[in-house]
Amino acid sequence: MTKELMFLIAILLTIGVFSYTTFRVFQYFKLTKPYPVKNWGKRFLLMFKVAFLQSKILRYPFIGFLHALVFWGFIVILIASIEMIIDGLFGTERVLGFLGYWYNMITASGDVSALIIALIIIIFLFRRLFHMVKRFAGIEMLKKSKMDANIALLIIFLLMISLLGMNTFYILGEPHEYKGYFPISVILAGFFHSLPEGQVHLWHEINWWVHIIWIFIFANILPYSKHFHVYMSIPNVFLSRLDVPGHLQNMDNVTKEVKIMMNPDQAFSEQGDTAEEVERFGVLDIEDVTWKNYLDSLACTECGRCTAACPAALTGKKLSPRKIMINLRARMKEKAGGLIKTGKEYSDDRSFIRDYISEEELWACTTCNACAKECPVNINHPTLIVDMRRYLVMEEAAAPVGLNVMFTNIENNGAPWQFPPEDRMLWTENLFMNIS
Write out the DSSP string of 181-240: --HHHHHHHGGGTTS-HHHHHHHHHHHHHHHHHHHHHHHHHGGGSGGGHHHHHHHHHHT-
Separation CA 387–CA 280 (nearest Å): 11
Q: What percent of the chain has pLDDT over 90?
A: 66
pLDDT of 57 > 80? The answer is yes
Query: Could you read off the pLDDT of 100-118 as tens digits, one per residue?
Result: 999 999 999 999 999 999 9
Taking residue 288's Cβ as centre, other Cβ atoms within 10 Å add up to 21
Question: What pTM, to 2 d.p., does this model score?
Answer: 0.88
Taking the CA atoms of residue 211, residue 216, residue 219 and residue 221 in that order, the dihedral angle to the nearest 10 degrees is -100
Query: Could you read off the pLDDT of 139-188 as tens digits, one per residue?
Result: 888 888 888 889 999 999 999 999 999 999 999 988 778 899 999 999 99
Buried b / exposed e over 168-196, threshold 16 CB at 10 Å, is bbbbbbeeeebbbbbebbeebbeeeeebe
| Side chain identity, residue 173 | G
Name residue 259's beta-bridge partners.
none
pLDDT of 93 > 90? The answer is no
Query: Could you read off the pLDDT of 201-215 as tens digits, one per residue?
Result: 999 999 999 999 999
Q: How far is CA 234 from the centre of its chain?
A: 8
Q: What is the pLDDT of residue 273?
A: 47
Is the distance from CB of 168 to CB of 185 less than 8 angstroms? yes
Is the distance from CB of 81 to CB of 215 less than 8 angstroms? yes
DSSP state of 61: T
Is the distance from CB of 344 to CB of 294 less than 8 angstroms? no
Number of H helices, E strands in the chain: 20, 0
Closest residue by Cα to residue 286 from 379, 356, 351, 361: 351
Is the distance from CB of 220 to CB of 21 less than 8 angstroms? yes
